[in-house]
Structure 1
Amino acid sequence: MSTFSLYFHLGLTHILDINGYDHILFVIALCAIYLLNDWKKVLIMVTAFTLGHSITLAMATLDLISVNASLIEFLIPVTIFITALSNIFKKQPGLTPQRSRINYAFALFFGLIHGMGFSNYLRSLLGKDETIVMQLLAFNIGLEIGQIVIVLIFLVLSFVFVNIIQVARRDWRLVISSAIAGISLILMMETKFW
């Protein structure tokens, strides 16, 4: 197995691992306000998130930045909670282009925080490798593909519930976002660093 394939597979399985459900919850929280026909907006948003965490993942892995791991482990559920809470308080069902750009900016910013959370994991895998560009690229592509899988599953479920079962779009958004907000509160209590 090539180095690229190895790190691609590690990134893919890392994101799809149910034990890393905090990341899965965040991706679902990002998607909770969208439906299947919004797939382009969701793809841009997930890619913005990947870009954000790729930047800090690379910087932290290369020891260009150093952040308290306990603080990051606490901030990750905070980002999940904020995203879910903002979904709950959204009034309009549709998204204006300006609102979409704000969502992309938040995804990018929160991606910066999540990337620092991955850095210890990736740093332990890389060991003392001198050149890590290919490994970082492969790992991030694996993460992006894994996120797209999660998004597709969620959007198909949204389609089934909203379009076939006829659950009101607002109710679907509120139930999903409320459940994620509740779980993220529990995660915040478990990871408090003070």
Structure 2
Amino acid sequence: MMSMPRGVLYFLLALLCHFSTPALAHKPSDSYLSLDAEDRLVSGRWDIALRDLDMAIGLDADGNGELTWNEVRSKHGEISAYAFSRLSLMSADQACTPKVAGHLIDNHTDGAYAVIRFTAECNEAIETLNIHYKLLFDIDPQHKGLLKLELDGRTSTAIFTPEQAVQQLGTGGAGRFAQFIDYVKHGVWHIWIGFDHILFLLSLLLPAVLVLRNQTWHSSQTFKSSLTDVLKIVTAFTVAHSITLSAASLGFVDLPSRWIESVIAASVVLAALNNLFPVFHGKRWLAAFVFGLVHGFGFASVLTDLGLPTTALVAALVGFNIGVELGQLAIVAAFLPIAFVLRQTWVYQRLVFRAGSVLIAFVAFGWLVERAFDVTIFAG
């Protein structure tokens, strides 16, 4: 009878240990490719994270863990060769060969990026572009290429993955609905690998199948009461991060990335410690709303870095937000029934709930120190 609880326990502990790996846990590896096509000429800008390029071709010449402008500049030729060996543009079945126009460095919400400016001339006026993108897919299958294409006054977007490495965009390219679905999928994936967001949500959900009497946790009596508690938390979190996700993506609010990520880590610590030393037990939905406002800024980094115009941004924003909610609901749907079944066992009350809360607080505190003081605790 104990095999199922122990299996669930081992799975949860392994998952939590996995969460301790990256400091910037909710920001996946992305590159940002912007193309402006007019007549036969494509003007492009490609932003690639320095940390990704360092992993791929080695930028840190002295091995001290810090990249300097001289180290990056000395690798400009290798950066261009590496990038354009993994990107091809074609129009009317003819290759449009890129020529590098310059190299820059720019800061995104998650760190410094190398910027490659380039042009590509095609044989005839461009109606559609066939784009083959395979940057980093061989060493990081979770990497995504986010594309913005301006052609004939129309903005198209696409997300390149190992499964969608070749796409056609333009007058005959992917429709608005297909682009919308891409961002729905991206939103689902973003929440599923956003470990700090998941741990914050789990910290608030763990007590949902328990009740607090005289500062002692007991199993709840009905599934309805647990479900009601969960719905309050999820609704508050959803409303809050939707507000700030929209505000940040549309450019109404811009806050420092380090401050946002530090507060997100702190929210996970506080939510986990509240399970051990209940302070706002009856108001966990309020904590979900307050800290959800900050988590929304973390979600927005994907869209703000892409720099979409308002017309394209609204559709991407709605699709991405729907994806986040679907991913979040999938987590809740998987968690709640299992937690309710196990709520009366020592496995859940002592190990999953108490030990899990301690482990979450420990991992999140490590993230907090890393983000606030720019130091390394967990080897990434």
Distance 1:150 1:111, change over 3 A: same
Equivalent residues of 1:11, 1:139 under 8 A apart: yes
Divergent runs of 4+, >6 A: none
TM superposition shift of 1:193: 4.3
SS of equivalent residue, structure 2 residue 262 = helix
Shift of 1:105: 1.5
Residue 192 of structure 2: aligned partner:
16
* Higher strand fraction (1 or 2): 2
Give the structure 2 partner of residue 107 of structure 1: 288
Out of 277, 281, 285, the residue aligned to residue 89 of structure 1 is 277
Deviations 1:148-189 (A, max 9, x none): 1112222233235335xx226642421221111111111111
Q: Report the TM-score when normalising by structure 2.
A: 0.45
Q: Which of 47, 71, 78 is residue 235 of structure 2 equivalent to? A: 47
Aligned amino acid, residue 146 of structure 1: G
1:16 & 1:188 partners in 2: Cα distance? Answer: 20
Structure 1 gaps, min length 5: none
What is residue 120 of structure 2 aligned with on the other side?
none
Asked if structure 1 preserves the Cα contact closer than 8 Å seen for 2:191 and 2:327, the reply is yes
Q: Does 1:161 align with 2:342?
A: yes
User: Residues 70 and 191 of structure 1 are in contact (CA less than 8 Å); yes or no, is this contact kept in structure 2?
Assistant: yes
Contact 2:343–2:349 (CA under 8 A) maintained in structure 1: no
- Residues 54-105 of structure 1: CA deviation (Å, up to 9, x unaligned): 11111111111111101111111100011111111139xxx7xxx2xx2212
Aligned residue for 2:158?
Answer: none
Q: Deviations over 1:113-163 (max 9, x none)?
A: 0111122212224x3322222322221111111111112222233235335
1:128 to 286, 304, 308: 308
CA contact (8 A) 2:250 2:310 kept: no
- Could you say what secondary structure the match of 2:278 adopts? coil
| 1:32 matches 2:209 | no
Map of 2:59 onto structure 1: none
SS at match of 1:192: helix
Q: 2:325 is aligned with what amino acid? A: E
- For the 8 Å contact 1:50–1:140, the answer to whether it is kept is no
Deviation at 1:39, TM superposition (A): 1.9
Q: Which residue of 2 aligns with 1:118?
A: 299
Tell whether the 8 Å contact from 1:50 to 1:144 is kept in structure 2 after alignment.
Answer: yes
Q: Tell me the residue number matched to 1:183.
A: 363
SS of the equivalent of 1:65 reads coil
In structure 1, what residue type is equivalent to 2:309?
D
Structure (1 or 2) with the greater helix fraction: 1
Q: Which amino acid aligns with 1:63?
A: G
- TM-score w.r.t. structure 1 length? 0.84
> Any idea what the Cα deviations from partners look like across 1:2-50, whole Å, max 9, x if unmatched?
2321111111111112xx2111111111101012821232123112111
Structure 2 letter corresponding to 1:9: K
Amino acid at match of 1:175: A
| Larger relative contact order, structure 1 or 2 (CA cutoff 8 Å, min sep 6) | 1
CA contact (8 A) 1:4 1:138 kept: yes
What amino acid is aligned across from residue 331 of structure 2 in structure 1? Answer: I
Query: In structure 1, how many angstroms separate the alpha carbons of the residues matched to 2:331 and 2:308?
Result: 32
CA distance in 2, matches of 1:193, 1:112: 23
The number of residue pairs the alignment matches comes to 181
- Identity in percent: 36
**CA distance in structure 1 between the aligned counterparts of 2:315 and 2:333, rounded to whole angstroms:** 27
Contact 1:43/1:148 (8 A) holds in 2: no
